[in-house]
Structure 1
Amino acid sequence: MNLHALMLFYNVALTGSVTEASKRLNISQPAISAQIRNFEKQYNIILFEKKGRNLVLTSLGEKMLKPTEKLFLIEEQIETMIEDYHKHPQGKLRISGNYLATSFLIPKWASLFKQRYPEVEVEITTVNSQAALERLTNYESDIAIFGNNEVTNPNKQQLHFMELYQDEYKFVVASNHKYANRQISLEDMVREPFIMREEGSMTRKRLLEVCSVQDVSQPKIELQFNGINEIIQAVVAGYGVSFVSSLVASPFIQRGELAIVDVIDVRFTNNIVLCSHDRDVVEGFIRDFISIAKTVRDAL
């Protein structure tokens, strides 16, 4: 298979014209057109057709676009691996995690890891749970940490999953709130002003699902933040209520700054997992980071 011709096809399809592909690749327009025609002739196919002044993909061209995109994405990933190998001779650890993981779990593990491996570069990326898994499967990360319940159709082939915590989500209020340490109905709870993550966050989605299932009015979100810590601080200051991870809330509850509200018939747990490629094929320092995470987990 002529991969160079496929690359030309992909760039023409991506830019929508031979002219733009020529500028992007610094290859002459006649050379691009000739190689694509030769490719079509070799396999007796047609990838593009003209409509007015524009080039559009044929039905076969449309089918070929996605797998071709994946092919060159893999090429980019291999190039990045080689580049990292030369830039970071002692190694590079790339971690992807959801907001909970990168804000409250990974910092301590990363600190312990750097004390052991000061020369290893550490790159931490915050994404949603689904994206964390996808980055791992696409070899854009070495380790992914996320809520397993937040991921759809996880591809477990050649991946190692380790459960870290069974996280339970709780309704929390300031310690002097009228509902502090009480048991109430969901209907009463949603009458309070809520402080939550942005639209699309998994916690907010779960809360709205619970309200829908129990046929209760949706809560009014009076304050919205992109971070969990900001939500906690606002609740501690005395305004509103929230629905948050118990991993995050526990230190504030232990210090008496927050209190739990036991809302009848609302139980939501989320398994936090660490996922990596097969341990037999990853570098030793990656296995050691996993061991650090496991040690910290077991000490709790």
Structure 2
Amino acid sequence: MKISKSNLDLNLLTCFKVVAEKGSISYASSVLHLSQPAISLQIKRLEEQIGKKLFDRHNRGLILTKFGDRFLEKTHRLLEIQNDLIGLVELSDSEPSGQLRVGTYTTASSYLIAPAAANFLKQFKEVGISYTYNESKYLLEQIKDYRLDCAVLTDVPADKNLHIERFYKDELVFAISTQRKESKLKSISPKDLVDFDFLSYPLRFDLCYKTVETKFGTYLSKSRTVVETESFDTLKQMLLLGSGATFIPKYLIANELQNGKLSTIQIGHSKLPIEFAFISKKNTELPKRTERFRETLFKFFPTPERAVD
């Protein structure tokens, strides 16, 4: 079957675009939340529809054919037009409506931005929020592909296609329950970390945790790991129960530090700053729901000088 106006599937084009830009089906699988066989099938269907080969297969991945390279350029233009049409319809509405698609971390949606989100939903009754959780690099790609409206993330590198507005500064702290005798320590040297029962967070999502590994990994690898989890809620509960110590964003335990259930220990002279940013696609007029969410979020985190990339 050859492609025609009646059977042009934009979902196939979106899949092709993601695969083409990275030359990787496994990467596209993570971004699109589809299995690798499903991605391969979509590429095959598109090639069959247009009657042209889009990729050459190599051991090191997929490489665009000469035609595939030209086809990618036109695909970019078509998907941009699709988004402009959707945006035009949304901007014509008097009030924000529809589903706001936000990429972030589970902890950020549960703790950091939850009050702002609740206020936003109270104001705009026709809008819902859908959160997507993944590694930052995948979420940023989804903004570029218009599959997310915005994201709230940390440590986002400058990107010519993204509008990055930093709005909240925090830090990773080494926290411990005041039930434990080590909590009386005000500071320790990095080598003293080997003596602690450690609550480990696998270094998969945040650049700041890769910084922890770079600075302290040698010592942490020699400590006793009592719990390993990707859930900050689990880490926090184990902290409160006195099971060990861990590096954790300060905003997650602010109340527990204030009421004396937890304390922090300084590790040498090291600081582990975190800076949250609101990210949207650059040079694109935001839908009303996205713009109103941005405004609401910034009201909850006022800052005299907001850094923008």
Is TM-score (shorter-chain normalized) higher than 0.5? yes
2:152 is the counterpart of 1:145: yes
Matched-pair identity in %: 19
2:198/2:244 contact within 8 Å kept:
yes
Q: In the alignment, what sits opposite 1:238?
A: 242
Q: 1:105-145: per-residue Cα shift (whole Å, max 9, x none)?
A: 23222211111111113211122222222222221111111
Distance of 2:164 and 2:117 partners within structure 1: 19
| Residue 92 of structure 1 pairs with residue 99 of structure 2 | yes
Once the two structures are TM-superposed, the CA of residue 63 in structure 1 deviates from its matched residue by 5.8
1:168 aligns with 2:171: yes
- Residue deviations 1:81-127, cap 9 Å, x none? 859x69x9933311111233222223222211111111113211122
Structure 2 counterpart SS, 1:179: helix
Matches of 2:85 and 2:226 in 1, distance apart? 45
CA-to-aligned-CA distance 1:26-55 (integer Å, 9 cap, x gap): x9x8xx6xx63xx6xxxxxxx59xxxxxx9
Other-structure match for 2:112: 105
Deviation for aligned residue 1:197: 1.8
Listed one character per residue, the Cα deviations across residues 278-299 of structure 1 (whole Å, up to 9, x for unaligned) are 5871133322211111111129
State yes or no: 1:207 paired with 2:212. Answer: yes
CA displacement 1:238-264 (0-9 Å, x = unmatched):
111100111112121112221101111
Amino acid at match of 1:233: Q
CA distance in 1, matches of 2:149, 2:64: 34
Correspondence list, 1:178-193, <5 A: 178-181=181-184, 182-193=186-197
Change (3 A) 1:174 1:22: closer
So what's the TM-score if we normalise by structure 1?
0.71
**Aligned-partner residue type, residue 223 of structure 1:** V
Q: Does 1:253 align with 2:264?
A: no
Please name the residue that 1:198 is paired with: 202
Alignment partner of 2:167: what SS? strand
Give yes or no for contact 1:171–1:263 (8 Å, CA) kept in 2.
yes
Find the aligned partners of 1:89 and 1:262 in 2 and give their Cα distance: 46
User: Residues 124 and 66 of structure 1: is their aligned pair in 2 closer, same or farther, counting only changes over 3 Å?
Assistant: farther
Q: Which residue in 2 is equivalent to 1:268?
A: 272
Give the direction of change, closer, same or farther, for the CA distance of 1:257–1:126 in structure 2 (3 Å limit): same
Structure 1 vs Structure 2 CA RMSD: 4.4
Q: Following the alignment from structure 1 to structure 2, what is the Cα–Cα distance between the partners of residues 267 and 282?
A: 36
Q: 1:286 to 1:23 in 2, by over 3 A?
A: closer
Counterpart of 1:180 in 2: which secondary structure? Answer: helix
Tell me how far apart the structure 2 counterparts of residues 195 and 143 of structure 1 sit (CA, whole Å).
32
C-alpha contact (below 8 Å) 1:174/1:237 kept by paired residues: yes
Alignment partners' CA distance in 1, 2:164 and 2:203: 29
Measured in 2, the distance between the counterparts of 1:236 and 1:205 equals: 25
Q: How far apart, in 1, do the equivalents of 2:182 and 2:196 lie?
A: 10
> How far did residue 163 of structure 1 move?
1.5
TM-score (norm 2): 0.69
Q: For this pair of structures, how many residues does the alignment match?
A: 266
Letter in 2 for 1:167: D
- Bigger radius of gyration among the two: 1
**Which residue of structure 2 lines up, in the alignment, with residue 295 of structure 1?**
299
1 CA distance for matches of 2:180 and 2:158?
A: 41
Query: Are residues 1:124 and 2:143 paired?
Result: no
**Aligned in 2, Cα 1:123/1:65: closer, same or farther, shift over 3 Å?**
same
Contact preservation (8 Å) 2:203, 2:209: yes
